[in-house]
Structure formats: structure tokens, C-alpha cells
Chain A
């Protein structure tokens, strides 16, 4: 079936270090969304990428969608303790409108 894998599963960084999570789909995606879930919280929408090769920035966060629309990445520059949480990508396949969540990357930031 359709799968969306993320690596790494866990990442511990010192505050101020950069962080990147990668999202890979088994098949070509129509678009991809990114969510953040704080411990004990619910997923909160961050961004949506639609076009092949698209790059979007939100302050310290940079999102990329691969040229083949099968992979994506989220890069955080100079992490802060407020960045702690699990980051999920969620992909939608062409011709469908259901989003399948990736396996998630749990980020811990050490002060």
C-alpha cells in the first residue's frame, strides 16, 4: 500500500544547532503538508507544498518538495526549545483527497 516514511525517527540537538527531517513516499504525490505536534497536543498545520521543486520559508523553517514529488524535507535553522515536538509530513496521492501521515520525527532540543 501507499506509505510515507520519515527519517530520522528521533533527533536530539543542542539549542542553536540545525535540524532536518526527510519524508519519502512510495509513489508520486499530488501535494504534501507538514504538521507539528507538541507533546500531549494535537497536530498543527505548518505548510503545504504543491509544485515540483517548490521551496517555502517560514522564519527559521525551510520546506522543500522534491522534483519528482516523491520526497520532501523540513529544515530548522538554529533550533530553539520551543521547536520541541514531533514533525509529520502528510502526503496526498494524485486522484485522491485523503492525506496519509508519515511516520514522524520526534525532535528534542537540549538547552
Chain B
């Protein structure tokens, strides 16, 4: 199984809503990532978890809150988002952090904030 599964595939939320994005992998990977991708732009790194601990936060606003309950799961909790946060949110995993690591990406959650 070389899949990274993200749910939901699409999400529309209001600016006062609280929602969560979920990501799951069963490849035994110990590094997991959240990226944000706007249309026609490259993926931008948001967070990196290594062995279930947050190791990189790319100065992401606190309205995005990541969580790694175990080595297979990664969540992104959303609260009080702005319309400019609308984007494709990609989860990825890799065997370990460090060099020589291939990242496997999920299909993404297309988020629209209204």
C-alpha cells in the first residue's frame, strides 16, 4: 500500500466554522507533512512532523493547528479562516526526515472559505 489518503476531498466552510482535515498512511513512514497549494503555484510547506513530534512550523498562522495522534495519522484543525486561505491542502509522508527521502502525496483537500 503506497497510498496517502486525505479526507474530505472537498470542503466549504464559513469564516466562523471549525473543521479538520485528515490524512492517513500505512507505509510505516515516520515523517508527515502539510503543504498548501494555490492555483498555478508550487506547494508551500506548512508543517513537518517527525516521529509524531512537530519539527518544522513554517510561520503558519495559529488558525491552522496540526496534530499527529499516531504515526499513521495527521490532522489539520482549521478555525476562523479567511477567504485567502482557500487552496488545495496536500498531505505527504516519507520514510524518515533527512536526506534521500521520497515524499508520497495524498490527493489533497480542496478547501473553499466563504
Q: Which residues of A contact B27 (CB under 8 A)?
A: none
Q: Is B90 a contact partner of A100 (Cβ separation < 8 A)? A: no
Which B residues, 56 to 114, have Cβ-Cβ distances below 8 Å to chain A?
56, 58, 90, 92, 97-108
Contact partners of B43 in chain A: CB under 8 A: 43, 88, 101
Residue numbers in B under 8 Å from A42 (CB-CB): 90, 105-108
The verdict on A43 contacting B105 (CB below 8 Å), with A101-B43, A103-B42 known, is yes
Which of B42, B45, B100 has a CB less than 8 Å from the CB of A98?
Answer: B45
Main DSSP-derived SS at the B contact region: loop
In the bound assembly, the distance between CA atoms of A48 and B98 in angstroms comes to 13
Residue of A at shortest CB range from B98?
A97
A104 contacts B105, C-beta separation under 8 Å: no
Residues in B neighbouring A101, C-beta threshold 8 A: 42-44
Name the interface residues of A33-75: CB closer than 8 Å to any CB of B.
Answer: 33, 41-45, 48, 50
Given the contacts A88-B42, A100-B45, A31 and B99 also touching, CB distance less than 8 Å: yes
Shortest C-beta distance, A107 to chain B (Å), equals 13
Sorting the interface of chain A by its residue count into under 10, 10 to 19, 20 to 34 or 35 or more gives 20 to 34
A98: chain B residues at CB < 8 Å are 45, 48, 56, 58
| Contact (Cβ within 8 A) A45 B42 | no
Q: Which residues of B contact A30 (CB under 8 A)?
A: 99
- Is A92 an interface position by the 8 A CB rule? yes
Q: 3 shortest A-B CB distances, which residue pairs?
A: A101-B42, A42-B105, A97-B97
Q: What residues of chain A have their CB less than 8 Å away from a CB belonging to chain B?
A: 30-31, 33, 41-45, 48, 50, 88, 92, 97-104, 106
What are 21 A-to-B residue pairs whose CB atoms are below 8 Å? A30-B99, A31-B99, A33-B102, A33-B103, A41-B107, A42-B105, A42-B106, A42-B108, A43-B43, A43-B90, A43-B92, A44-B105, A48-B102, A50-B100, A97-B98, A98-B48, A98-B58, A101-B43, A101-B44, A102-B42, A104-B41
